[in-house]
Amino acid sequence: MIKIKTNMGTIDRTLRYIAGGTLLLVGPLTNLIPTDTFSNVILSCMAIVAISSATLSYCVLYELTGFNTCARK
């Protein structure tokens, strides 16, 4: 099994879940914002990235910049 080093804390993960869910619900699934197909695909991709990074507790950009929001042990 591959072990991924986590670099996101609880608050960061919660905010990403909220942002991802909002992007997914407001963008492609509703007509609250008049959008075309391309912007719906972009909003869906952004939502998937936010939710998947929150689920894995790992952010590639955090790894590249050395940023870490996990609680220190």
The tens digit of pLDDT for each residue in 12-22 reads 999 999 999 99
**Does residue 7 carry a pLDDT above 80?**
yes
Spatial CA neighbour of 40 closest among 58, 26, 56, 51: 26
* Residue 60 CB burial class (10 angstroms; 0-12, 13-18, ≥19): exposed
Instruction: Give residue 35's pLDDT.
Output: 66
Q: What is the pLDDT of residue 53?
A: 94
Number of C-beta neighbours around residue 32 at 10 A: 9
The two tokens of residue 59 are 């952010």
Cα-only R_g, the chain: 14
| pLDDT tens per residue across span 27-73 | 766 666 666 777 778 888 899 999 999 999 999 999 899 899 987 66
d(CA 66, CA 62): 6
Whole-prediction pTM:
0.81
